[in-house]
Amino acid sequence: MTLLKVENLTKRFGGLVANDDVSMYVERGEIVGLIGPNGAGKSTFFSTVSGYYRPDGGKVYFDGEDITGLPTEKVCLRGMTRTFQIVKPFSDMTVLENVMVGAFARSARVSEVRDRALEVLEFVGLADRRDFPAAGLTIANKKRLELARALATEPKLLMLDEVMAGLTPRETQEAVELIHRIHERGITLFIVEHVMEVIMPISDRVYVLDGGRKIAEGPPQEIAENEEVIKAYLGERYHAARG
Amino acid sequence: MAAVNTVEILVQTAVSGLLWGFIFALISVGLTVIFGVMDIVNFAHGDFLMVSMYGAFVLYSFWGLDPLLSLPLVVAFMFGVGVLTYRLLISRVLDAPMLAQIFATFGLLVFLRGAAHLIFHADYQSIKNPILSGSFELFGVTMSVPQVVAAVGAMVITGLVYWFIMKTETGWALQAVAEDKEAASLMGIDSEWMYSLAWGLGSACVAIAGVLLSNFYYIFPEVGVMFGLIAYVAVALGGFGSVTGALVAGVIIGVAEVLGGFLIGPEYKYVIVFLIYLAVVVLRPKGLMGKA
Amino acid sequence: MLHEVEVLRRFAPPRLGRFVVPALLLLLILFPFVVNAAFYVHLMILVFLFAYLGQAWNILGGYTGQVSLGHAVFLGLGAYTSTLLFEWYGVSPWIGMIAGGLVAMAFGLIIGLPTFRLQGHYFAIATIAVGESVLALFNSWDLVGGASGIYRTIVPESWWAMQFHSSKDPYYFIALGLVVTIFTVTRLIERSRLGYYFRAIKEDPDAAKSLGIDTTRYKLYSMMISAFFTGLAGTLYVQYLLFIDPEMVFLLMLSIQICLVPVLGGVGTLWGPAVGAAILIPISEFTRGYLGGSAAGLDLVVYGALIMLVAAYKPAGIMGLLRKAS
Ligand SMILES: Nc1ncnc2c1ncn2[C@@H]1O[C@H](COP(=O)(O)OP(=O)(O)OP(=O)(O)O)[C@@H](O)[C@H]1O
Ligand SMILES: [Mg+2]
């Protein structure tokens, strides 16, 4: 059954078309990857789908209902939560309080929310940091906190924007394991990742964006051999080498 | 006969509103330059105007220097005040939460207003017999010389600021810093210097307006309140950071305020300005010429 | 890993504890019986009033991060409402107090509804504009006394009329009651979903939205609470002075004092406004006594310098210093 269905989504910033007529879907229980070179429009796509931006065209259906143009907070309450590529911790609040803010989406009872938040912290491995201010965490732990907070809202669909960027190989490995454990809990995952090597092994299907357009979709092995995808990424390396 | 009179008065009022509008525009340009470059609202902007007016007043009363002659002195002084404000105060709150940013310049407002009370007391002062005085008649409309000169001066300066930002190399550097500080620094632009310049420039604009205003307007510690408020509204209406927007908005507000004050009553001036602000915020929060 | 643990300082807010608060409260209740000097009772009433107003501001400005630079408007509206209800219809100030709070709250909605969808400075500018507009309107509104204000009709002292002439003590206890109320309310908010949401909105509105918080709605809640309680105090203010005019309640000066109290003490902390008022009010009263009217403006100069210093160097205020030390 389809959990998320995006039809012909377009998002412009002034003259720049950041998402151009993009269609995607996510089945319940899947892990779907979204890749593409820098500036391809991945984050914009997440922001528009989750209601942070209003689309300039197209439709978004979630859980069988049209949620196009619904504000982020309402989308979250319906069961779709996203994380931010540039982490946004509530810096002056403790780790536990950060996660409690997420858990309050489902209950107003403080004791219940606290228990739920502690459980999530245990799950992601931040329990020993719970009384520290979020501002002092390492970048890896900030990303984990971002994830924990989103998880505490009890989403059906969790959209992760580059939660593994900038991590050491070991931290990346831990993050991959965490993603698997989240998936085992029955949460559907939609993951933006810049580095192909990380996302390919864990995804059921992969979409590729380049210059705001969808240029490929399919199982990871197919994508890895796709001419256009290779060209898009090679192009990036070519530019990077010159720039 | 009465009808003719009303029309005449209306035209007279509209012209007066227009003249005021250009002065509002210049004050607003000063505010919008600072905001455009660094995303910080200077809540003490109206009080910079007040300080400039007292500057002209002091130079006049102690050394008999006419505002026309003291203009460069006051402008240079206020440029320095702007730069110092950035260096000593604003640079410390650049990355601070909005709360600290608002309080930094609000504290400056309180400080300057208190200092004016302390030094000059609450009395209304004015510069008597400046070179620019008197009035003349054009197409049956009476206009005061200093007010016309102020309006023309404001127009010219606004044009110069626009030219400076759009057409000179330094102006481009300012825009680059406003766009993306990191990218600009990669291109070798010193953002500290650009921020200082923005504060100096913004304060110099308001200083010119203040000195020209001192030719024909009362000087008192709270004189900046109304002008500051109008500048915030004009900047919001024109679009935060847009020089041309500030110009157009200043003129619109000038006409609306003077006409409205005439038709409804002067005590509603603030209310009119506030209602314009609310309308902008609700209908077009990006302003007339704001970028997305 | 260990390194990180070492670097992080533990969050240890100074615990005023189970005993300190009741003991303090007891001392404050006994104070007017022990200290008979009217001046000190007067001083305490002012400290209470500003701790109260500072806390009401703090709910909106400190916890939720929406800086109001015209909070005196709410106080003034509350004061005028209960005054007019009493003078025109003989309504008890106790009822006028609630009515005044509601009027202030409604007014808060008018400012908040359009501006809260946008960034913080839109709201701050609106609060300045509102302050000036209301001052100008009341100054020329003859029905409510215009610029010359309203002298309250003096009636024999009674709790019903909230007028006391033989002693200031009843005012002292009303003020104390208000302080206890607002600190309790703030404590309750702090520990509820409301408080968590307020702080989340202040820290990062985008992240807050992504976690299901309707930021505009919660800012409005915060505004309504803050404005309502600020409006309540208007009644005490006018009953205590038995006179009201626009300059007294709508001048920027009062708004400055209201926000300076928590800014100095520590914004967004429960005890910040209490500490701020306890320091600021005595200093300003004593210096006013010494300097008289000769140095009008000096207080503004000092306040302005304090606000700038705190903003640029110690945004956490005195409570921030205490927290560091403990
Ligand atoms: N708020 C915005 N305003 C204007 N342009 C924007 C905005 N956000 C993104 N863009 C532009 O839209 C394009 C797509 O950006 P986006 O952040 O979605 O790319 P991305 O695929 O997430 O890249 P990355 O891998 O660097 O995260 C870029 O050219 C970017 O500059
Ligand atoms: Mg991105």
pLDDT digits (tens, 9 = 90+) for B32-67: 999 988 888 899 999 999 999 999 999 999 998 999
The Cα of A167 is separated from the nearest Cα of chain C by a number of Å equal to: 14
Q: What's the CA-to-centroid distance between A47 and ligand 2, angstroms?
A: 10
CB within 8 Å of chain C, chain B residues 74-103 = 89, 92-93, 96-103
H/E stretch holding A157: strand A157-161
Mean confidence (pLDDT) of chain B: 88
Instruction: Give the sign of the dihedral formed by CA C193, CA C198, CA C203, CA C207.
Output: positive
Residues C142 and C72 placed together within one structural domain of the fold: yes
Give the predicted TM-score (pTM) of the model.
Answer: 0.90
Tokens for A91, please give them. Answer: 């810096």
pLDDT average, residue stretch B140-162: 89
Residues C166 and C224 placed together within one structural domain of the fold: yes
B87 to chain C: nearest residue by CA? C312
Query: Cβ separation of B107 and C305 shorter than 8 Å?
Result: yes
- Domain count of the fold of chain C: 2
Q: How confident is the model at residue B288 (pLDDT cuts 50, 70, 90)?
A: confident
Q: Which residues, at least 6 apart from B108, have a Cβ–Cβ distance to it below 8 Å? A: B43, B44, B47, B85, B89, C304, C308
Judging contacts by C-beta atoms under 8 Å, the chain A residues touching residue B292 are 13-14
Q: What's the CA-to-centroid distance between A11 and ligand 1, angstroms?
A: 11
Q: Which residues, at least 6 apart from C322, have a Cβ–Cβ distance to it below 8 Å? A: C14, C266
Distance CA B35, CA B292 (A): 15
Q: What's the one-letter identity of residue C246?
A: P
The label of the residue with tokens 């307020």 reads C198
Residues C111 and C199 placed together within one structural domain of the fold: yes
**DSSP-H helix ranges across A11-124:** 42-49, 72-78, 95-103, 110-124
For ligand 1, whether the C-beta of A178 sits within 6 Å is no
Residues C144 and C53 placed together within one structural domain of the fold: yes
pLDDT score of B270: 80
pLDDT in tens, A135-173: 999 999 999 999 999 999 999 999 999 988 888 888 888
Judging contacts by C-beta atoms under 8 Å, the chain A residues touching residue B291 are 14
Q: Which residues, at least 6 apart from C186, have a Cβ–Cβ distance to it below 8 Å? A: C55, C58, C59, C270
pLDDT average, residue stretch B12-34: 91
Longest distance between any two alpha carbons in chain A, whole Å: 57
For ligand 1, whether the C-beta of A43 sits within 6 Å is yes
Strands B135-138 and A80-82: unpaired
pLDDT of residue A84 exceeding 60, the answer is yes
pLDDT of residue C1 exceeding 70, the answer is no
Q: Which residues, at least 6 apart from A83, have a Cβ–Cβ distance to it below 8 Å? A: A143, A146, A147, A149, A150, A158, A159, A160, A161, A163, C210
Q: What's the CA-to-centroid distance between C314 and ligand 1, angstroms?
A: 36
Domain end position, chosen among C217, C237, C252 = C252
A13 to chain B: nearest residue by CA? B292
Q: What DSSP letter does each residue of C149-191 carry, written as one string?
A: -EEPPP---BTTTTB-SS-SHHHHHHHHHHHHHHHHHHHHHHT
Q: Are B73 and B95 in contact (CB under 8 A)?
A: no
The closest CB to that of C212, out of A76, A94, A110, belongs to A76
Q: Does C11 touch chain A (CB under 8 A)?
A: yes
Q: How confident is the model at residue C124 (pLDDT cuts 50, 70, 90)?
A: confident
Strands A16-27 and A2-13: antiparallel
Closest alpha carbon to A137 in A194, A90, A102, A83: A90
pLDDT average, residue stretch C246-258: 84
Q: Does B284 touch chain A (CB under 8 A)?
A: no
Q: Does C71 fall in a domain?
A: yes
Distance CA B258, CA B247 (A): 17
Tokens for B171, please give them. Answer: 């102006």
Tokens for C41, please give them. Answer: 């009772």
Closest alpha carbon to B14 in B186, B199, B139, B127: B139
Buried residues in C102-134 as b, exposed as e (16+ CB within 10 A): bbbbebbeebbbbbbebebbbbbbbbbbbbbbb
Q: How confident is the model at residue B265 (pLDDT cuts 50, 70, 90)?
A: confident
Q: What's the one-letter identity of residue C253?
A: M
Query: Cβ separation of B118 and C136 shorter than 8 Å?
Result: no
For ligand 1, whether the C-beta of A166 sits within 6 Å is no
Q: Are A207 and A35 in contact (CB under 8 A)?
A: yes
pLDDT in tens, C71-108: 999 999 999 999 999 999 999 999 999 999 999 999 99
Q: Does B221 touch chain C (CB under 8 A)?
A: yes
Q: Give the domain extent around C130.
A: 41-252
Residues C206 and C115 placed together within one structural domain of the fold: yes
Q: Are C139 and C146 in contact (CB under 8 A)?
A: yes
Judging contacts by C-beta atoms under 8 Å, the chain C residues touching residue A91 are 203
For ligand 1, whether the C-beta of A238 sits within 6 Å is no
pLDDT of residue C4 exceeding 80, the answer is no
Q: Are C32 and C176 in contact (CB under 8 A)?
A: no
Q: What's the CA-to-centroid distance between C32 and ligand 1, angstroms?
A: 65
In chain B the first and final C-alpha atoms are separated, in Å, by 51
Q: Which residues surround ligand 2, an ion (CB under 5 A)?
A: A 42-43, 85
Question: How many residues appear in chain C?
Answer: 326
Greater confidence (B271 vs A35) lies with A35
Closest alpha carbon to A57 in A28, A85, A20, A25: A20
Q: Does A66 touch chain C (CB under 8 A)?
A: no
Query: Cβ separation of C301 and B109 shorter than 8 Å?
Result: no
Q: How confident is the model at residue C17 (pLDDT cuts 50, 70, 90)?
A: low
Q: Does C12 touch chain A (CB under 8 A)?
A: no
Domain end position, chosen among C252, C269, C299 = C252
Residues C108 and C11 placed together within one structural domain of the fold: no
Ligand (nearest to CA of A36): 1
pLDDT score of A234: 66
Q: How confident is the model at residue B291 (pLDDT cuts 50, 70, 90)?
A: low
Tell the residue nearest (CA) to atom 4 of ligand 1: A13
pLDDT average, residue stretch B166-187: 87
**DSSP-H helix ranges across chain A:** 42-49, 72-78, 95-103, 110-124, 139-152, 169-184, 196-202, 220-225, 227-242
pLDDT of residue C157 exceeding 60, the answer is yes
pLDDT score of B276: 85
pLDDT of residue B31 exceeding 80, the answer is yes
Domain end position, chosen among C229, C252, C275 = C252
pLDDT average, residue stretch B75-87: 96
pLDDT of residue C140 exceeding 50, the answer is yes
Grouping H, G, I as helix, E, B as strand and the rest as coil, residue A68 is coil
Domain ranges of chain A: 2-79+157-242, 88-154
3-state helix, strand, coil in chain C (%, to 5): 75, 0, 20
Provide φ and ψ at A157, rounded to 5°.
-120, 125
H/E stretch holding B186: helix B181-186
Tell the residue nearest (CA) to atom 30 of ligand 1: A39
Distance CA C51, CA C37 (A): 21
Q: How confident is the model at residue C3 (pLDDT cuts 50, 70, 90)?
A: very low
Q: What DSSP letter does each residue of A197-224 carry, written as one string?
A: HHHHHH-SEEEEEETTEEEEEE-HHHHH
CA dihedral B207, B210, B212, B215 (to 10 degrees): -140
Q: What's the CA-to-centroid distance between A113 and ligand 2, angstroms?
A: 31
pLDDT of residue C7 exceeding 80, the answer is no
What's the DSSP call for residue C119? -
For ligand 1, whether the C-beta of A44 sits within 6 Å is yes
pLDDT average, residue stretch B176-205: 89
Q: Does A54 touch chain B (CB under 8 A)?
A: no
Provide φ and ψ at C174, rounded to 5°.
-65, -45
Tell the residue nearest (CA) to atom 29 of ligand 1: A39
Tokens for C206, please give them. Answer: 């985008």
pLDDT score of A240: 53
Q: Does C6 touch chain A (CB under 8 A)?
A: no
pLDDT of residue C284 exceeding 60, the answer is yes
Q: What's the CA-to-centroid distance between A164 and ligand 2, angstroms?
A: 12
Q: Does B291 touch chain A (CB under 8 A)?
A: yes
Query: Cβ separation of C193 and A131 shorter than 8 Å?
Result: no
Q: Does C303 fall in a domain?
A: no
Most confident of A6-20, B181-195, C137-151: A6-20
> Any idea which fold A2-79+157-242 has?
Rossmann fold (3.40.50)
pLDDT of residue A242 exceeding 60, the answer is no
Q: Does C208 touch chain A (CB under 8 A)?
A: yes
Q: What's the CA-to-centroid distance between C65 and ligand 2, angstroms?
A: 28
Residues C10 and C142 placed together within one structural domain of the fold: no
pLDDT average, residue stretch A42-69: 94
Longest distance between any two alpha carbons in chain C, whole Å: 72
